[in-house]
Chain A
Amino acid sequence: MSQTLAPDAAAAAADAAPIVSVTGLGHVYPSREGPVHALADISLEVGQGKFVVIVGPSGCGKSSLLMMLAGLRHQSEGAILCDGRPMSDPDPDRVGVVFQEANLFPWLTAIENVAFPLALRKVPRAERQARAAAMLELVGLADARGRYPHELSGGMKQRVSIARGLVQNPKVLLMDEPFAALDEQTRMAMGEELLRIWSETGKTVVFVTHSLTEAVYLADEVLVMSARPGRIIDRVAVPLPRPRTYAMMASPVFGALRERIWQQIRASAR
């Protein structure tokens, strides 16, 4: 199956207003063996409703960058604007986070876990239940609402985690290798699922992964980072049409994009 550029998609990317914008961001960790220069001179913009994937060698600062975008850690220099305001503290109205581990609270059932961010905001019980139930429905887990995390499979846990990240209706969803702990099949299915959720909710997603196939399959744009100190060395627009299909993975366009990203990472890691 041959793939062609979708010109209107590319045009849409250009005129969408950025919801996240990072300028001149750098970060240095103090450590016992001296300062660790983790990130340097990162500038990026993420358009409203876009699916942006960040890849790069291990230890290049992807997680650190996401933590800063989430307001969970303060950068040494540079500025982060989300929805026009700085991210100085976590703000679940603007940014939801999904981590590599599902990090569900083991003493809460699936639906209670999803409702947890709403409970923190003192949303009335009935509304909390309704919204959490709707989110579970969205991730295809309506039947598992009463189950505890240890009664769920890895993939189900990660779905609950995604539902929990979305329940506050944040403008941006940050995902740090959310499927890395899953097996290949579950991972593929989850990617497809995530794209469906993304297109249904219209959220902006910033997604970190080690899998280049996953990156190209999911992304509107792939940001490639160099080894430490992490910089953005390439921005690869993925012109494949939506909805994406598994068959596209076999297309020459897909292969060429993957190859280009791989070469960049390899060169930077040397």
Chain B
Amino acid sequence: MSPRAIRWTIIAGVLVLWEVLPRAGLVPVLFLPPLTTTLSVAVTEWRSYGAALAVTLSQVMVALLFAVGGGILVGAIVGGVARMRQVLLPVFSSLYAVPLVVLYPVFTAWFGIGSEAKIAFASVYGFFPTMLSTAAGIQTIDPNLMLTARSMGATPVQRLFRVILPAAIPTVLAGLRLGGALVIIGVVVAEMLISSAGIGYLITSSRTVLNSPHVFAGVLLVLLIAIGFDLAMRLLEKRCAAWSGAGRARPGASDVRPAEA
């Protein structure tokens, strides 16, 4: 069987078990309501779920903009300027290790329990990996490429846009993937902790009244967002697939053709 077929078989298997196990009474319905029950909740209550999805998605979008835009910008500066790198990179790397979730109550104290707090929290949450990844990408650009561009009379601006940025794209994409995932987690977790709207909020409020089908309908929607993001990333990565992975400093490797999959 091809990996693709195996993958789909596993997914189908999980879906079937999700339906069969609770119906057969092997798993209490309170712990896991059957798939069809969950789906029917999502369909019959599409109004409230749709609204929640819109809230969560819009906040993910805005936070993504801040996290990724800021992350790439700061990362490019920190990675590109030696002095900044020496001073700031260790600080940022340590900050990255701090579990930011503990700070969310502080965010709500500052921004209230509306969307601002969620956006701020998720932005910060996604900012660090994108920033660190971009900084690393820019730092490892083959200096020979810069020298070559210079020998052709490239101005500093041309070097930035025609060499540094294109060369950094694969690492930036990797950072974007990680940062985007964290932004989604950040928004949903924030909604689950303290908030007044969104899918995370729906999940938590349904859980407190032990309404399992509603909880799982929310979980399904979060899954949907994650899958959507993954697909979007794949599309983006595909556009760079022709050359990504090359262009970094790989000592002595410039004449070795990378083993292409």
Contacts and interface: CB of A to CB of B under 8 A. Distances in A.
Interface of A: 70, 72, 89-92, 95-97, 99, 101-103, 105-107, 116-117, 119-121, 148-151, 153-154, 157, 168, 181-182
Given A90-B152, A120-B152, A103 B255 contact: no
A114 to B, nearest CB: 11
Given A90-B153, A157-B255, A99 B246 contact: no
12 contacts: A90-B151, A101-B144, A102-B254, A103-B144, A103-B145, A106-B167, A106-B243, A120-B153, A120-B158, A121-B153, A150-B243, A150-B257
A107 B166 contact: yes
A168 B166 CA distance: 23
A66 B247 CA distance: 24
Nearest to B145: A103
B49 to A, nearest CB: 42
B163 A91 contact: no
Contacts of B257: 150-151, 153
Contact of A90 (B142, B150, B258): B150
Chain A interface main SS type:
loop
Q: With a 10 A CB-CB cut-off, give which of A105, A120, A121, A148 has the most chain B CB atoms.
A: A105
Interface in B140-174: 142, 144-145, 147-154, 158, 162-163, 166-167, 169
B152 A101 contact: no
A154 to B, nearest CB: 4
A66 to B, nearest CB: 10
A92 B148 contact: no
Q: With a 10 A CB-CB cut-off, give which of B151, B153, B158, B260 has the most chain A CB atoms.
A: B151
B144 A148 contact: no
Given A101-B144, A102-B254, A103-B144, A72 B150 contact: yes
Nearest to A93: B153
Nearest to A113: B148
B255 A120 contact: no
Contacts of B142: 103
Chain B contact residues (Cβ within 8 angstroms of A): what range? Answer: 20 to 34
A92 B148 CA distance: 11
A102 B260 CA distance: 20
B153 A101 contact: no
B10 interface: no
A167 to B, nearest CB: 9
B242 interface: yes
Contacts of B150: 72, 90
Interface of B: 142, 144-145, 147-154, 158, 162-163, 166-167, 169, 240, 242-243, 246-247, 254-255, 257-258, 260
A106 B151 contact: no
Given A105-B247, A107-B243, A120 B162 contact: yes
A75 B145 CA distance: 22
Given A97-B151, A117-B152, A106 B247 contact: yes
A154 B151 contact: no
B154 A148 contact: no
A154 B16 CA distance: 53
Contacts of B169: 107
Contacts of A96: 151
A119 B161 CA distance: 12
A72 B158 contact: no
Given A103-B144, A107-B166, 7 more contacts: A72-B147, A72-B150, A103-B142, A105-B247, A106-B246, A107-B242, A107-B246
Q: With a 10 A CB-CB cut-off, give which of B144, B162, B167, B254 has the most chain A CB atoms.
A: B254
A181 B167 contact: no
B243 A168 contact: no
B163 A168 contact: no
Contact of B152 (A148, A151, A168): A168
A116 B254 contact: no
Contacts of B149: 120
Contacts of B247: 105-107
A105 B145 contact: yes
Closest 3 pairs between A and B when the two form their complex, measured CB to CB: A106-B246, A106-B247, A154-B255
Contacts of B147: 72, 99, 103
Nearest to B248: A106
A168 B151 CA distance: 12
B258 A181 contact: no
Contact of B246 (A101, A150, A168): A150
Nearest to B257: A150
B260 A105 contact: no
B211 to A, nearest CB: 51
B100 to A, nearest CB: 34
Contact of B148 (A103, A107, A148, A153): A103
